[in-house]
Chains A and B, each alone.
Chain A
């Protein structure tokens, strides 16, 4: 029976291989990759999925198959590394495990592994580097001062262990450029040129920093990080490759051109649609700082109290997200005897909508999504 089964599986694989070869399509490639995966040939499954992704990069089916197989492969690697750590703990295995979690987007697990690495091998720079990279990425995405400061602390710590860590020096220099701390950026770039004098990008970056530096005008690093968070943008942007005749460093552009009044008008118009939502109890749009932009409240609800409630719920949620170090607020769903309240972030605004318990949650969800979509585009 086992032999027959194997023969059947082999024939099925051959059939799918032939189909993919003769009529290559997202379906034939995905079917082949999935079959390889099912028979336990992970390597071949990934090879087929990668090939399919190159051939059909826009296919949802191919993308989903690739992601699924890649995740399974990483999970196999995680099991293998955990086994190595159990039998023969070493910094390399810990580092690889943390990087896999980081790449999978499971940053809390990556940080957990790094902490264990730090405890067991305090002279390894890996844990500080990985946490530094996670924080640096978050800082670029969310512009929160705490992420930037933690990126800086971890990367500086990695440099204490290995002063010639190129990656740490460059990442730190770029953070300092982004916040406008050119003096500190120059120090880190000079260190790189001491052991990599032919690195043109670093040399050019250093020259530009020297042109822009004004030590008397530079604030404390702590304030520069806060300034980024408050203004919701970096002081400077860095280009990867120098454009012809252009510069690597450019002052960061401010928020979009939409005038606040025009934006409020657009939001107000969008809120009018909530009249049609069954069980609608009120809607308020606020900006990231909690400032009210526009509202729509039925006559039987006290407008002032409603607006104050939404603003308070948002302020509490926003603070909780920051306190728990989980990044910026995206959404809050509150349900109870009163009905339901959905606060959702999109396109630069937070929209809070309250509805009765009888309102179908998917209708509320859809209405909020529609109201939030393309506010900037409509305003511009």
Chain B
């Protein structure tokens, strides 16, 4: 049980959310709450690839980090929010009210950030 689990538990109850995790850019999972059809290792690897790949690409333009990233595919969405040393990653169904869900995700991200220093592996 980590200090972030209650936040992710609450996020899991939001309509259309399939799962969420707090993960570093290197793919180290700090906390996760994923649906049955999502493997932690796979989600973490994907998250790391998106975070690092996108930041590297932006750095080539001298632009650096991103604060929030919403990726939409035909059958689902993925949201990445920067919370300092890590990211909150959320996977959702395709038919969600994105505006409303983003409010919940941002609220969860703020709480994760407010919990203080994220200790890797803690």
A312 x B70 contact (CB < 8 A): no
Q: Which A residues lie within 8 Å of B95 (CB)?
A: 104-106
Stretch at the interface among A79-87, A151-159, A330-338: A330-338
- The answer to the question of B61 belonging to the interface, with a C-beta cut-off of 8 Å to chain A, is yes
Q: Which A residues lie within 8 Å of B70 (CB)?
A: 331-333
Stretch at the interface among B25-33, B47-55, B111-119: B47-55
Most A CB atoms within 10 A — which of B37, B50, B57, B95?
A: B57
A332's partner among B56, B71, B94 (CB-CB below 8 A) is B71
- The answer to the question of B78 belonging to the interface, with a C-beta cut-off of 8 Å to chain A, is yes
B50 x A316 contact (CB < 8 A): yes
B88 to chain A, nearest CB (A): 15
B80 to chain A, nearest CB (A): 9
A308's partner among B50, B60, B67, B94 (CB-CB below 8 A) is B60
- The answer to the question of A1 belonging to the interface, with a C-beta cut-off of 8 Å to chain B, is no
B67 x A335 contact (CB < 8 A): yes
- The answer to the question of A289 belonging to the interface, with a C-beta cut-off of 8 Å to chain B, is no
A331 x B72 contact (CB < 8 A): yes
Q: Which B residues lie within 8 Å of A112 (CB)?
A: 35-37
Task: Tally chain A residues at the interface, Cβ within 8 Å.
Answer: 45
B60 x A309 contact (CB < 8 A): yes
Q: Which A residues lie within 8 Å of B69 (CB)?
A: 332-335
B53 x A316 contact (CB < 8 A): yes
Q: Which B residues lie within 8 Å of A309 (CB)?
A: 57-58, 60-61, 63
Task: Tally chain B residues at the interface, Cβ within 8 Å.
Answer: 38
A335 x B66 contact (CB < 8 A): yes
A108 x B93 contact (CB < 8 A): yes
- The answer to the question of A317 belonging to the interface, with a C-beta cut-off of 8 Å to chain B, is yes
B75's partner among A138, A301, A332, A341 (CB-CB below 8 A) is A138
B50 x A317 contact (CB < 8 A): yes
B54's partner among A111, A301, A308, A316 (CB-CB below 8 A) is A316
- The answer to the question of A229 belonging to the interface, with a C-beta cut-off of 8 Å to chain B, is no
> Using an 8 Å CB-CB cutoff, how does the interface string of A25-54 with B read, 1 for contact, 0 for none?
000000000000000000000000000000
How far is A330 from B70 in the complex, measured between Cα atoms in Å?
11
How far is A315 from B95 in the complex, measured between Cα atoms in Å?
24
Query: Looking across the interface, which residue of chain B has its beta carbon closest to that of A308?
Result: B60
Q: Which A residues lie within 8 Å of B71 (CB)?
A: 317, 320-321, 329, 331-332
Find residues 51-110 in chain B having any chain A CB closer than 8 Å to their own CB.
53-54, 56-58, 60-61, 63-78, 82, 91, 93-95
B36's partner among A107, A115, A316, A338 (CB-CB below 8 A) is A115
- The answer to the question of A319 belonging to the interface, with a C-beta cut-off of 8 Å to chain B, is yes
Please judge, given known A-B contacts A115-B36, A302-B61, whether A326 and B66 are in contact too, CB under 8 Å. no
- The answer to the question of A327 belonging to the interface, with a C-beta cut-off of 8 Å to chain B, is yes
Q: Which A residues lie within 8 Å of B21 (CB)?
A: none
How far is A361 from B44 in the complex, measured between Cα atoms in Å?
29
- The answer to the question of B18 belonging to the interface, with a C-beta cut-off of 8 Å to chain A, is yes
B76 x A108 contact (CB < 8 A): yes
How far is A339 from B68 in the complex, measured between Cα atoms in Å?
11
B64 x A336 contact (CB < 8 A): yes
Q: Which A residues lie within 8 Å of B46 (CB)?
A: 320, 323-324
A115 x B72 contact (CB < 8 A): no
B77 to chain A, nearest CB (A): 8
Q: Which B residues lie within 8 Å of A111 (CB)?
A: 37
Q: Which B residues lie within 8 Å of A334 (CB)?
A: 54, 58, 66, 68-69
Query: Looking across the interface, which residue of chain A has its beta carbon closest to that of B52?
Result: A316
B74 x A328 contact (CB < 8 A): yes
Q: Which B residues lie within 8 Å of A56 (CB)?
A: none
Most A CB atoms within 10 A — which of B46, B63, B64, B73?
A: B73
A336 x B65 contact (CB < 8 A): yes
- The answer to the question of B23 belonging to the interface, with a C-beta cut-off of 8 Å to chain A, is no
A316's partner among B49, B63, B82 (CB-CB below 8 A) is B49
- The answer to the question of A347 belonging to the interface, with a C-beta cut-off of 8 Å to chain B, is no
A335 x B60 contact (CB < 8 A): no
- The answer to the question of A198 belonging to the interface, with a C-beta cut-off of 8 Å to chain B, is no
A353 to chain B, nearest CB (A): 14
A338's partner among B63, B82, B91 (CB-CB below 8 A) is B63
A323 x B54 contact (CB < 8 A): no
Interface contacts beyond A329-B71, A336-B64: sample of 18 additional A-B pairs, CB < 8 Å, sorted by A: A109-B93, A115-B36, A138-B74, A301-B61, A316-B57, A320-B50, A320-B78, A323-B42, A331-B70, A332-B72, A333-B70, A334-B68, A334-B69, A335-B68, A336-B68, A336-B82, A337-B64, A337-B65
Q: List 6 A–B pairs whose Cβ atoms lie within 8 Å, in order of A's numbering.
A: A108-B18, A321-B71, A323-B46, A334-B54, A336-B65, A338-B61
